[in-house]
Amino acid sequence: MTAPSNPTLRLQYRQLYQNSLRYSLLGTCLTHRPALWNQVRKSHTAITADPVPLRKQLKDEARRKKAEKKASPKSSKTLDPRLSRWELTVGLEIHAELNTACKLFSPAATSLNAEPNSHVALFDAAFPGTQPQFQKATLIPALRAALAFGCEVQRKSSWDRKHYFYQDQPNGYQITQYYEPFARGGTLTLTQLDGIETSDCPEVTVGIKQIQLEQDTAKTILQPPSTYLLDFNRVGTPLIEIITLPQIHSPTTASACVRKIQSLLRAVDACVVGMEMGGLRCDVNVSVRERGTTAEGLSEYAGVKGLGTRTEIKNLSSFKAVENAILAERDRQIAVLESGGEIEGETRGWTIGQTETVRLRGKEGEVDYRYMPDPDLGPLIIGQDLVDHLKDTLPMLPDETAERVVNEYGISAKDARTLISLDDGDRLEYTEAVVETVMQRLASLPEKQSFDKVGKVVADWVLHELGGLLTTAGVPWETQTVTPERLADIIVHLQTNQITGNTAKKLLAHYASLQPVAEAAIPSVSKIIDTSGLRLVPLTEGEYIEMAQKVMAENPDMVKAVREKGQKGKIMWFVGQMMRRGEEGRVEAEKARSYVERLLEV
Amino acid sequence: MFRMQCFHVLARSSTKSHRWFSSRPIDAEALLSKRTWSVRSLLPSTDTTPDSPQVSSEQLHHLLRLSALPPPKDPSEEARMLRTLSSQLHFVREIQAVDTTGVSPLRTLRDETTEGEQRNEIGLAELKDALCGEDAVGKHHKRVRRRRDQDGQKTAAETWHVLGSAEKLIGKYFVVEGGK
């Protein structure tokens, strides 16, 4: 059975197969339904019934969804009653790959998807007798990350060995900074716009305990049943581990925190590979405690007192997984405690699609890492001049940028954040260039018009119009061909009423579809308008009155309703009819309304 | 501890002069002919019963597992291992008994002078080249971006035959058999 090409009918098919309740709701207004449904079941492809108007279809969908929501007992928005008794506490440990050319302790190059075992130095392969050589350039993104969180950079920090045997660790130990990390004591503030839980609003401040430098491990591919294939390209890649204080109290806020950390690291060019590509990994520590209890007898971590026993969840590979895993673990811990049990300090795992975390190892299987200072490496001594220089030249952080954009351009906070996050900030740069050009052109025109909405209009065009076109065509932003000047040209013509909105969209589509050629070969907006006769000629007063009188003559009862019954709302109906009849874009709603009001003597 | 011993030896030889180093020639052979200390003083004597806590069999097995060493083949080998471990621990306890207040532990042999520290400091001068490998991007929305056109090129450290010494390979991967 082939799906019909009519989108309205396709919508109908989906509904039919899902719910009989919906069937009965729709049955009253979609009288053709039984026949259609039977035809569908008999695999008839030729459907001859009239489709229902889309507007009605959408209204019914909305009504059905509302009814379902009221009927469903478990709503995610209502607060779980157990949370009034139990408080959740979460701490995050985030490992992020630094944006560097070479590895941390060898001059081999870092890589993402290179041929296996093609970027391995002798030290990375743990050949006996090889020594680590600290690569200084790796400090730049590391320091930028520390400064982005407002951490105190330690002048002296040291390297330690964390011993454990596993096939992805050729040396048998990982070089990390356990005793003396290079940065301590930062903060991260999250607001409602970052997506925190409503109970945490207006803002949440999460402390950063420390940031340390360490090595990454090899990539392993499991060939079932028990063969491991090893690619050492990733061994020794510099990572920073960001450890937050346990000051997060909801799964949504935890997920928002991870997202914000990723965006901050990207903004300062410290870590540019995202979570979906494996460049950022997250482990969480989850504990619950009863509200109103004193801190006595409870654990403490880095100065935060009164914590229950915590479990650690490893291998979280997406923002949603972080949220779901914490939710599942919180519920499990509450269930255990409420039934009188005790929480064991264990390590657990989570796979997407499961409903509960899975135990990986308990306290008896806890690894003894036997931390010891690495005798091959001297301390890391960071000069204050370097820290000062990086602080002075640190790129503006996303929150500050969003504030600037909102203040300068009148764009909404949500749109501002979208612009900043898209394409590494290139989309915002483009928008600002377009606004600058548009303002310049409009300023030089003889007629002065009010242009406070320019920023909003431009942002709308870049995000929705141009963005929509590129998404539909599957064109990435880096290769799109509409220059800022070209888009500014279109918008200027639109703002000065030389073309209609639809014409502007068509022009944009035309420019976006062009192959990249020399600028001179592309015709300008004015040229296209003139050659294709797209210039908008506004209606004269006489034309307005003539049209209004025509509409009124054809609908005397509507005229009566307004004049005699005083139904002023129907005035806009007249305006609507005029806009429908008139040539597209030539009828201006405001002007039409004033003429209609004048004629109706209202 | 050895550093402190040498210090005392030097001090003793120059009690008469005010400088650390005496101007008189030192008879090294005579000085070194008499034994002043032996490691045997730190080992337990065989006749005394050790009053310190013993290492249990479970602890021994746990340590061997952590160190990826093979477990003992029979009880007599295990008894031998436990005896050796016990005397080694006695030695360590003697070392730990030394008063180290005010002495920071030696982590690595390096230049600990202020000049040495200055030389090892990583400041702006050392990273000037690396900072040149970045671009300032954006006229309105100013950002920094590391240039990545040279990424993925083989450096001098990568030209050796990585897979050459592997016993077993599958394609370009090293292989580890995980099964018991």
Q: What is the pLDDT of residues A358-414, one digit of tens each?
A: 888 877 767 788 899 999 999 999 999 999 999 999 999 999 999 999 998 888 899
Question: B154 CB near a chain A CB, below 8 Å?
Answer: yes
- pLDDT classification of A35: cutoffs 50, 70, 90: very low
DSSP A382-404: B-HHHHHHHHHTPPPPHHHHHHH
Highest mean pLDDT among A295-299, A319-323, A536-540 belongs to A319-323
Mutate to test the interface with A, among B114, B119, B140, B167 (most CBs of A within 10 A): B140
Say what the pLDDT of residue A540 is.
81
Residue A382 domain flag: no
Q: With a cut of 50, say whether residue A249 has pLDDT above it.
A: yes
Quick one: A239 and A98 in the same domain?
Answer: yes
Which of A217, A250, A279 is where one domain is finished?
A279
Quick one: A524 and A556 in the same domain?
Answer: no
What are the tokens at A432? 């600002």
Cβ contact A231–B122 (<8 Å):
no
Q: What is the 3-state secondary structure (H, E, C) of A239-304?
A: EEEEEECCCECCHHHHHHHHHHHHHHHHHCCCCCCCHHHCCEEEEEEEEEEECCCCCCCCEEECCE
Query: How many contacts (CB atoms, under 8 Å) link A and B?
Result: 167
Which of A262, A279, A296 is where one domain is finished?
A279
- pLDDT classification of A126: cutoffs 50, 70, 90: very high
More confident residue, A548 or A392: A392
Average pLDDT, chain B: 83
> What pTM does this model have?
0.79
Instruction: Find the CB nearest B127 among A136, A232, A420.
Output: A136
Say what the pLDDT of residue A33 is.
44
Say what the pLDDT of residue A18 is.
59
Q: What type of residue sits at position A491?
A: I
Lowest mean pLDDT among A114-118, A421-425, B37-41, B156-160: B37-41
Q: Averaged over A92-102, what is the pLDDT?
A: 96
More confident residue, B133 or A452: B133
Residue A448 domain flag: yes
Cβ contact A158–B107 (<8 Å):
yes
Say what the pLDDT of residue B87 is.
87
Quick one: A62 and A182 in the same domain?
Answer: yes
Residue A112 lies in domain: 3-67+94-279
Residue A481 domain flag: yes
Quick one: A425 and A545 in the same domain?
Answer: no
Cβ contact A120–B158 (<8 Å):
yes
- A552 three-class SS: helix
Count, residues in chain B: 180
Cβ contact B150–A101 (<8 Å):
yes
Which chain B residues are Cβ-neighbours of A395 within 8 angstroms? Answer: 142-144
Q: What type of residue sits at position A255?
A: S
In 3D, which of A348, A318, A317 has the Cα closest to residue A332? A348
Q: How far is B64 from chain A (nearest CA, A)?
A: 12
Q: Averaged over A553-580, what is the pLDDT?
A: 81
Q: With a cut of 70, say whether residue B2 has pLDDT above it.
A: no
DSSP bridge partners of A281: A95
Lowest mean pLDDT among A142-151, A383-392, A418-427, A557-566: A557-566
Say what the pLDDT of residue A125 is.
94
Average pLDDT, chain A: 85
Per-residue pLDDT tens over the stretch B47-102: 555 566 788 999 999 889 888 899 999 999 999 999 999 888 888 888 889 899 99
Cβ contact A229–B173 (<8 Å):
yes
Q: Where are the domains of chain B?
A: 2-103
Say what the pLDDT of residue A78 is.
57
Per-residue pLDDT tens over the stretch A493-505: 888 878 888 888 8
Cβ contact B173–A370 (<8 Å):
no
Q: Tell me how many helices (H) and strands (E) chain A has.
A: 20, 18
Rounded CA-CA distance A336/A351 in Å is 21
Cβ contact A376–B108 (<8 Å):
yes
Say what the pLDDT of residue B14 is.
44
Cβ contact A117–B174 (<8 Å):
yes
Say what the pLDDT of residue A23 is.
47
- pLDDT classification of A59: cutoffs 50, 70, 90: confident
Q: How far is B124 from chain A (nearest CA, A)?
A: 5
Which chain A residues are Cβ-neighbours of B153 within 8 angstroms? Answer: 109
Residue A28 domain flag: yes
- pLDDT classification of A119: cutoffs 50, 70, 90: very high
More confident residue, A86 or A537: A86
Q: Averaged over A80-89, what is the pLDDT?
A: 86
The C-alpha angle with vertex A218 and arms to A174 and A179, in degrees rounded to 5, equals 15
CB neighbour list of residue A219: distance below 8 Å, 6 or more residues apart: A168, A230, A231, A233, A234
Query: Which ipTM was obtained for this model?
Result: 0.76
Q: With a cut of 70, say whether residue B22 has pLDDT above it.
A: no
Q: Scanning every residue of chain A, which has its alpha carbon at the shortest distance from the alpha carbon of B112?
A: A378
Quick one: A62 and A121 in the same domain?
Answer: yes
Quick one: A181 and A250 in the same domain?
Answer: yes
Terminal-residue alpha carbon distance, chain B:
46
Burial of B106 (0-12, 13-18, 19+ CB in 10 A): exposed
Contact B144, B134 (CB under 8 A): yes
Q: Scanning every residue of chain B, which has its alpha carbon at the shortest distance from the alpha carbon of A424?
A: B143
Q: How far is A278 from chain B (nearest CA, A)?
A: 18
Say what the pLDDT of residue B4 is.
47
Say what the pLDDT of residue B31 is.
87
Quick one: A34 and A174 in the same domain?
Answer: yes
Q: Averaged over B10-18, what is the pLDDT?
A: 47
Say what the pLDDT of residue A43 is.
44
Rounded CA-CA distance A290/A308 in Å is 9
Mutate to test the interface with A, among B61, B106, B107, B135 (most CBs of A within 10 A): B107
Per-residue pLDDT tens over the stretch A458-476: 999 999 999 998 999 888 8
- pLDDT classification of A40: cutoffs 50, 70, 90: very low
Which of A531, A561, A586 is where one domain is finished?
A531
Q: Scanning every residue of chain B, which has its alpha carbon at the shortest distance from the alpha carbon of A114?
A: B152
Residue A480 domain flag: yes
Q: How far is A424 from chain B (nearest CA, A)?
A: 9
Question: B147 CB near a chain A CB, below 8 Å?
Answer: no
Q: Scanning every residue of chain B, which has its alpha carbon at the shortest distance from the alpha carbon of A405?
A: B141
Contact A286, A86 (CB under 8 A): no
Q: Averaged over A427-438, what is the pLDDT?
A: 92
Residue A204 domain flag: yes
Q: How many domains would you assign to chain A?
A: 3
* Portion 37-66 of B in contact with A at CB < 8 A: 66
Which chain B residues are Cβ-neighbours of A370 within 8 angstroms? Answer: 66
Q: Which residue has the tokens 């409503």?
A: A198
In 3D, which of A301, A186, A198, A209 has the Cα closest to residue A252? A198
Say what the pLDDT of residue B13 is.
47
Q: With a cut of 60, say whether residue A48 has pLDDT above it.
A: no
Q: Which residue has the tokens 């609908």?
A: A555
More confident residue, A186 or B52: A186
Q: With a cut of 90, say whether residue B121 has pLDDT above it.
A: yes
Residue A304 domain flag: no
Question: B173 CB near a chain A CB, below 8 Å?
Answer: yes
Which chain B residues are Cβ-neighbours of A125 within 8 angstroms? Answer: 162
What are the tokens at A452? 């406070």
Quick one: A489 and A575 in the same domain?
Answer: no
Q: With a cut of 50, say whether residue A42 has pLDDT above it.
A: no
Say what the pLDDT of residue A162 is.
95
More confident residue, A34 or A95: A95
